[in-house]
Amino acid sequence: MVTLHKKNERKDHVESFAYRRPVDASTLIILNASNEVLLGKRSSKHVFMPEQYVFPGGRVDPGDSRVFCPIEAEPELMNELTETVSKARAKGIAMAAVRETFEETGLILGSPWKHLIQTKSSSWRPFFNLGMVPALNRLKYFTRAITPPGQVRRYDARFFLAEAKSLTGELQGNGELINLRWINIEQATSLPLSPITNLVLQVLQERQKGNSTHPSILLKEIAGAALKIK
């Protein structure tokens, strides 16, 4: 886990939001066979990171821990998450990655189910109405990062990985992310990326080069080096 700080922030701005607690969030890195990742641009109307490219994702909703999910996450993923949260909360964090990706991109990380799932959760109803259930076993835990104090929004974000072939559906968002596109990892740096998206892509590249260091440790190392350069 790493907390990223920006230099030269205005003191009054920092103090205004210094005690804002981070909320749990989930992000999904989708990687296809051409070594491309799916990114979308946050609109200018967003208060947090406007007009920057990010992976699909968002905050964890209360219903994410409660809705039906017969396909459980792999033990390795749950072990990573339950180092800091309860098992129920860990499930919710993983579920949020699936839901947010569906909402923002139209892509479904799920499997057909034998009957239509009924739910009181308005956030999950569109997903279940397709006759699908989340396939948490297709998620791989990657890393974690917390928005630094002083920002207008703070998130305790967990990043997951999934292969593009594990998802179905047509690429179409709900408007939260615009200009959704697949882009080669090495070429992605030409886009106006959010700082954490940029760092996570660097970690992903290191892992692909054969660096066996845990992604969370790599993220700390790269983030530290970037701050020293600046």
Across residues 20-37, what is the average pLDDT?
95
Q: State how far the Cα of 95 lies from the Cα of 135, in Å rounded to an integer.
A: 9
Q: For residue range 110-122, what is the model confidence (pLDDT) as tens digits? A: 999 999 999 999 9
Average pLDDT, the chain: 88
Q: Which candidate, 188, 212, 178, 141, places its Cα nearest to that of 51?
A: 178
DSSP state of 62: G
Q: What tokens does 226 get?
A: 């970037």
Across residues 199-208, what is the average pLDDT?
95
Specify the pLDDT at position 4.
52
Grade residue 223 by pLDDT with cuts at 50, 70 and 90. Answer: confident
Across residues 23-37, what is the average pLDDT?
97
- Assign domain 2-229 to its CATH superfamily: Nucleoside Triphosphate Pyrophosphohydrolase (3.90.79.10)
Percentage of the chain lying above the pLDDT 90 cut: 72
Q: State how far the Cα of 110 lies from the Cα of 166, in Å rounded to an integer.
A: 8
- Measuring CA to CA, how many Å separate 167 from each of 72, 100, 170? 16, 13, 10
pTM for this prediction: 0.87
Grade residue 227 by pLDDT with cuts at 50, 70 and 90. Answer: very low
pLDDT at 159 over 70: yes
Angle of the 215-229 helix axis to the 195-208 helix axis, nearest 10: 120
Q: Are 127 and 99 in contact (CB under 8 A)?
A: yes
Grade residue 44 by pLDDT with cuts at 50, 70 and 90. Answer: low
